[in-house]
Amino acid sequence: MILMPHDLPQSLAIYKSLLLKWSKAINLVAPSTLQDIEKRHFEDSLQLLPYIPQEAKIVFDFGSGAGFPALVLAMARPDLSFHLFESDQKKCSFLSTVSRETFIPVVIHNERVEHVDIKILPQPDVITARALASLEELLALSRSWWDLEMGGNKDLVLVFPKGEKAAEETEAARKKYEFSLDVVPSKTDGRASVLILSKVRANRPQA
């Protein structure tokens, strides 16, 4: 059982205040979601917690944007090391500000995932991404870390919140990749689900 840090509500309150303040100047999230930040962003991120193995140490988050789910998860699991990848400089500034103001240390990479030098990065135990790309594209982006022939981690877990096209994206991805999959209905959106993948490998081309 994972116990939430006692200061999580305070950290989330600071996060919400900063999100509202910064959203007046830059587009961090869909404006319509600012009316219900707790459910649309905080609860939506926290529902991923059960799918992060207790023994995990390092989590990568692709296309972190305004920090969902990574910053919220980092506040709930301060024992983990989070690496956030975001190509937009202004969004990286926001992420840095939230990290500083809430005393939650994270590593922020201001670059696209496909451009990072994987040789200088640690091996992740978990990879997350929210509203970034299709499942097929996410598996391509994360290949360096799940492909054993490229030095990947055989126990890597991929946790991707998905919208109403989850089944369609899964079917498309299976044309190129094999993987174990658990599909969990979203707690915050009846049309959405959370995809938990493991044991990913590329399909061998047919002779």
pLDDT of 164 strictly over 70: yes
Ramachandran category for residue 67: left, alpha or beta (phi over 0 → left; psi -120 to 50 → alpha)? left
Choose among 156, 158, 4, 157: nearest CA to 77.
4
Query: Is 50 exceeded by the pLDDT of residue 1?
Result: no
pLDDT tens-digit profile of 171-192?
999 999 999 999 999 999 999 9
- Give the count of beta carbons closer than 10 Å to the beta carbon of residue 162: 23
Question: Which domains, and CATH codes, for the chain?
Answer: 39-202 (3.40.50.150)
Contact call for residues 139 and 157 (beta carbons, < 8 A):
no
Per-residue pLDDT at 113: 93
SS (H, E, C) the chain: CCCCCCCHHHHHHHHHHHHHHHCCCCCCCCHHHHHHHHHHHHHHHHCCHHHCCCCCCEEEEECCCCCCCHHHHHHHCCCCEEEEECCCHHHHHHHHHHHHHHCCCCEEECCCHHHCCHHHCCCCCEEEECCCCCHHHHHHHCHHHHCHHHCCCCCCEEEEEECCCHHHHHHHHCCCEEEEEEEEECCCCCCCEEEEEEEEEECCCCC
What is the arithmetic mean of pLDDT over 77-87? 97
At residue 4, the pLDDT reads 63
What does the pLDDT read at residue 206? 56
Considering only 1-10, 82-91, 150-159, 189-198, which range has the smallest mean pLDDT? 1-10
How much of the chain exceeds pLDDT 90, in percent? 91
